[in-house]
């Protein structure tokens, strides 16, 4: 993966409309371990749903979507290994929030924080799957 | 000889075709690589600025969490400035700046994966706009509904002298839990230890379906004055299953799967379009800006209605799942008791007891922090006496068991991590068997149950309950006063 640009985190906003944000993050490398963590603020009025899914490359098999529901004041995680780039084009991370919730969404790749964002509305992160060099 | 020549000629022809195909592939690959490089070169400055600002922002956020540690005016200002800088770059080249600057390898496949995100962005924006108006008018309702999904899990102590809830919930514990209760009964002060385990959640902690289906609890009493002797050997096993959980979570998983598969198919199609585009850079830029290829820039168009439909459906399902996951529940309540729960002081309660039925509940939000919960249970009950002190053992007794309760719970302040709860309910059992047998077994009663639960330590609470018999025709149990500590062991939701 080319990290010569030094970019390891994306803008909080790539496209926002109403109560939804879509962000493109830097690529995640195949075969690396990932952890998607969401800390639901104690002041949140309800649970937050976090989903991790993989967009298949040429209809190849990808891991089934993962999902977890996180109560206010709690921290939840989804983790796994990034599938081969030949099988998965993109990683999708969705934090589904409603009015009144807020929290911190963090992505770790091989134990290192790759992306962090404080979110207050439904947020989708897209990450291309990069070939391991 | 002739055959040999023909084979040679055939081999040569195949080789020639292969070379031509390889050459065509290389041309396509070269064309996409060239387009890729052209686009990235045009954004070199933006790429570098974005990389620098993004790196600074991540480093700041790694050590600064305003919601957890409190706000710092200087850091907030820096963060705001970085967000604005990044935002401006994004406005200049939406998507391409982020997607292409760091993408590798730089071929048609990667380019298609990158630019196809734009469709998701476009559909997401349309969806958000369509939802914005109704959501605005329903903002308060949505917030109240959302509050209901803050589920309280507890150890299952139903039917024992350690029961605190006026009617026990059937929502399984998140992972595992333990409770120790002290009960003042007419046969003295009793202790009850309870362990609850959610085996599927422990086996697959990331599976929302598995973690919400069932848990198993085992409890056993201990006598503070006499220890455990032959007469007090007793064990109870409880199983509760929330049957609404798999329905909602499975539907969600299916919708998300449909969505990503459709996105994958669309990206595959875009890859084909890019491979045949006259000017890959122009075609890619048009897709990135508009969400789909145009005939003018790419030579052909693509139908994106299916992707848009499944994307919208997946988001609607996520919304529904989040709201409904903990608001309603309906499931099974199964209990097995073997032995003598109260010792020899109470004659007639030693035996094998089976209960099986359905239970349900609903939360009704009252405000951002407080809500009412209604619970109910209807079950069949079987009791086979093994009490020799009765002289003649009664025949097995069949009863109808029921319970109904309301609970008012919530947090005193927004920042409170644990909830307070107050509840009142009635539980009863009416036998359908011979009256003389029923009189010697624990049935034909109606109890009024009162509960108060207050937060105690992080991840635990302290409960006080009083159970007063309103009617008691079978074995006389008398009033119970119970105090219980409830700890959510391994339970991340209570951290």
Q: What pLDDT is stored for residue B317 in this prediction?
A: 84
Q: Is A120 on the interface with B (CB under 8 A)?
A: no
Rounded CA separation A50/A46 (Å)? 13
Q: What pLDDT is stored for residue B209 in this prediction?
A: 62
Closest to B447 measured CA to CA, from B416, B425, B464: B425
Backbone region of residue B226 per phi and psi (left: phi > 0; alpha: psi in -120 to 50; beta: other values): alpha
| pTM, entire model | 0.63
Bridge partners of residue B236, in order along the sequence = B219, B337
Rounded CA separation B109/B271 (Å)? 6
> Does a structural domain hold residue A1?
no
CB contact under 8 A, A11 and B86: yes
Number of neighbouring beta carbons within 10 Å of residue B59 = 14
B window 271-300, beta carbon within 8 A of A: none
Distance from CA of A34 to the nearest CA of B (A): 13
Q: Cβ neighbours of residue B93 under 8 Å, at least 6 residues apart?
A: B43, B46
Contact B397, B441 (CB under 8 A): yes
CB contact under 8 A, A18 and B135: yes
User: What's the average model confidence in pLDDT over A98-120?
Assistant: 89
Rounded CA separation B463/B159 (Å)? 16
CB contact under 8 A, B321 and A94: no
> Does a structural domain hold residue A120?
yes
Burial class (CB in 10 A: 0-12, 13-18, 19+), B295: exposed
A window 60-79, beta carbon within 8 A of B: 62, 64-79
Q: Which residue of A has its CA nearest to B211?
A: A68
Q: What's B396's DSSP letter? A: P
Closest to A119 measured CA to CA, from A105, A98, A99: A105
B109, B218, B340 from B382: Cα distances, Å: 65, 19, 15
> Does a structural domain hold residue A70?
yes
Q: What pLDDT is stored for residue A74 in this prediction?
A: 72
Q: What share of chain B is helix, strand, coil (3-state, %, to 5)?
A: 45, 30, 25
CB contact under 8 A, B315 and A14: no
Contacts of B492 in chain A (CB under 8 A): 74-76
Q: Which residue of B has its CA nearest to A100?
A: B143
pLDDT tens-digit map of A60-91:
999 999 988 877 667 788 999 999 999 999 99
Closest to B400 measured CA to CA, from B384, B377, B381, B383: B381
Q: Is A35 on the interface with B (CB under 8 A)?
A: no
Domain containing residue A94:
23-130
Chain A contact probe: residue of B41, B93, B95, B124 with most A CBs at under 10 A: B124
Q: What pLDDT is stored for residue A4 in this prediction?
A: 32
CB contact under 8 A, B102 and A53: no
First to last CA, chain A: 6
Q: What pLDDT is stored for residue B122 in this prediction?
A: 81
First to last CA, chain B: 84
B7, B12, B13, B15, B224 from B2: Cα distances, Å: 9, 15, 16, 20, 104
> Does a structural domain hold residue A72?
yes
Lowest mean pLDDT among A4-13, A41-50, B216-225, B466-475: A4-13
Contact A1, B104 (CB under 8 A): yes
Q: What's B232's DSSP letter? A: G
User: What's the average model confidence in pLDDT over A94-98?
Assistant: 87
List average pLDDT for each run of 10 residues in chain B, which is 495 residues long. Answer: 55 49 50 85 82 90 84 90 79 62 85 89 77 47 36 68 84 79 76 86 66 84 61 80 73 89 93 91 88 90 89 84 70 89 76 93 74 91 85 87 92 64 94 83 93 75 90 86 74 39
Q: What pLDDT is stored for residue B96 in this prediction?
A: 64
CB contact under 8 A, A14 and B90: yes
- Residue A88's CATH number: 2.60.40
> Does a structural domain hold residue A8?
no
> Does a structural domain hold residue A93?
yes
Rounded CA separation B195/A49 (Å)? 28
Q: Which two tokens stand for residue B226?
A: 């006499």
Q: What pLDDT is stored for residue B493 in this prediction?
A: 40
> Does a structural domain hold residue A10?
no
Contacts of B52 in chain A (CB under 8 A): 6
Q: What pLDDT is stored for residue B417 in this prediction?
A: 53
> Does a structural domain hold residue A110?
yes
Q: What pLDDT is stored for residue A61 in this prediction?
A: 95
CB contact under 8 A, A71 and B86: no
Domains in chain A, number: 1
Q: Which two tokens stand for residue B312?
A: 């919208």
Number of neighbouring beta carbons within 10 Å of residue B94 = 17
Contact B350, B339 (CB under 8 A): yes
Cis peptide before B102 (omega within 30 of 0): no
A11, B66, B71, B92 from B74: Cα distances, Å: 20, 12, 9, 28
Bridge partners of residue B19, in order along the sequence = none
CB contact under 8 A, B58 and A9: yes
């Amino acid at each position: 993966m080319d990290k010569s640009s030094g970019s390891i985190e994306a803008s909080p906003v790539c496209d926002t409309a109403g109560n939804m944000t879509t962000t493109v993050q830097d690529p995640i490398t195949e075969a690396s371990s990932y952890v998607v963590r969401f800390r639901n603020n104690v002041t949140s009025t309800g649970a937050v749903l976090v989903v991790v899914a993989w967009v298949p490359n040429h209809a190849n098999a990808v891991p089934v979507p993962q999902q977890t529901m996180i109560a206010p004041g709690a921290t939840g995680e989804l983790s796994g290994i990034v599938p081969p780039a030949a099988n998965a084009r993109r990683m999708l991370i969705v934090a589904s929030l409603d009015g009144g919730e807020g929290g911190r969404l963090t992505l770790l790749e091989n134990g290192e924080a790759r992306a962090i964002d404080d979110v207050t509305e439904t947020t989708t992160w897209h990450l291309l799957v990069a070939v391991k060099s | 000889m002739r055959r040999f020549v023909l084979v040679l000629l055939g081999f040569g022809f195949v080789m020639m075709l292969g070379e031509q195909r390889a050459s065509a592939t290389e041309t396509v690959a070269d064309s996409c690589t060239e387009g890729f490089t052209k686009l990235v070169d045009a954004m070199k400055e933006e790429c570098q600025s974005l990389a620098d600002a993004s790196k600074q922002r991540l480093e700041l956020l790694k050590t600064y969490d305003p919601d957890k540690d409190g706000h710092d005016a200087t850091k907030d200002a820096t963060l705001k400035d970085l967000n604005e800088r990044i935002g401006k770059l994004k406005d200049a080249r939406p998507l391409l700046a982020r997607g292409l600057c760091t993408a590798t390898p730089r071929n048609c496949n990667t380019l298609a994966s990158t630019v196809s995100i734009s469709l998701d962005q476009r559909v997401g924006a349309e969806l958000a706009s369509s939802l914005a108006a109704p959501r605005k008018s329903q903002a308060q309702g949505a917030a109240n509904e959302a509050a209901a999904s803050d589920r309280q899990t507890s150890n299952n102590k139903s039917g024992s002298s350690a029961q605190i809830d006026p009617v026990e919930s059937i929502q399984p514990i998140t992972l595992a839990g333990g409770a120790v209760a002290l009960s003042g009964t007419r046969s003295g002060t009793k202790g009850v230890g309870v362990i609850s385990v959610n085996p599927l959640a422990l086996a697959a902690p990331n599976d929302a379906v598995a973690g919400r289906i069932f848990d198993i609890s085992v409890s056993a009493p201990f006598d503070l004055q006499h220890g455990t002797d032959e007469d007090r050997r007793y064990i109870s096993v409880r199983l509760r299953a929330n049957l609404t959980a798999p329905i909602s979570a499975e539907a969600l998983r299916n919708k998300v799967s449909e969505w990503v598969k459709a996105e994958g198919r669309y990206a595959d199609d875009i890859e084909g379009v890019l491979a045949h585009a006259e000017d890959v850079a122009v075609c890619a830029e048009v897709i990135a800006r508009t969400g789909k290829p145009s005939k003018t820039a790419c030579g052909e168009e693509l139908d994106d209605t299916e992707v848009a439909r499944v994307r919208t459906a997946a988001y609607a399902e996520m919304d529904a799942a989040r709201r409904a996951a903990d608001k309603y529940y309906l499931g099974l309540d199964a209990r097995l008791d073997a032995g003598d729960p109260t010792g020899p002081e109470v004659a007639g309660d030693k035996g094998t007891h089976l209960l099986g039925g359905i239970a349900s509940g609903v939360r009704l939000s009252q405000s951002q922090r407080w809500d009412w919960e209604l619970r109910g249970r209807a079950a069949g009950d079987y009791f086979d006496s093994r009490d020799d002190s009765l002289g003649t053992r009664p025949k097995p007794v069949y009863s109808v068991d029921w319970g109904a309760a309301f609970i008012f719970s919530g947090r005193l302040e927004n920042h409170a991590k644990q909830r307070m709860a107050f509840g009142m309910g009635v539980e009863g059992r009416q036998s359908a068997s011979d009256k003389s047998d029923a009189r010697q077994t624990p049935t034909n009663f109606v109890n009024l149950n009162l509960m108060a639960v207050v937060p105690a330590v992080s991840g635990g609470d302290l409960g006080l309950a009083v159970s007063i018999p309103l009617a008691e025709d079978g074995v006389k149990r008398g009033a119970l006063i119970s105090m219980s500590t409830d700890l959510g062991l391994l339970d991340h939701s209570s951290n």
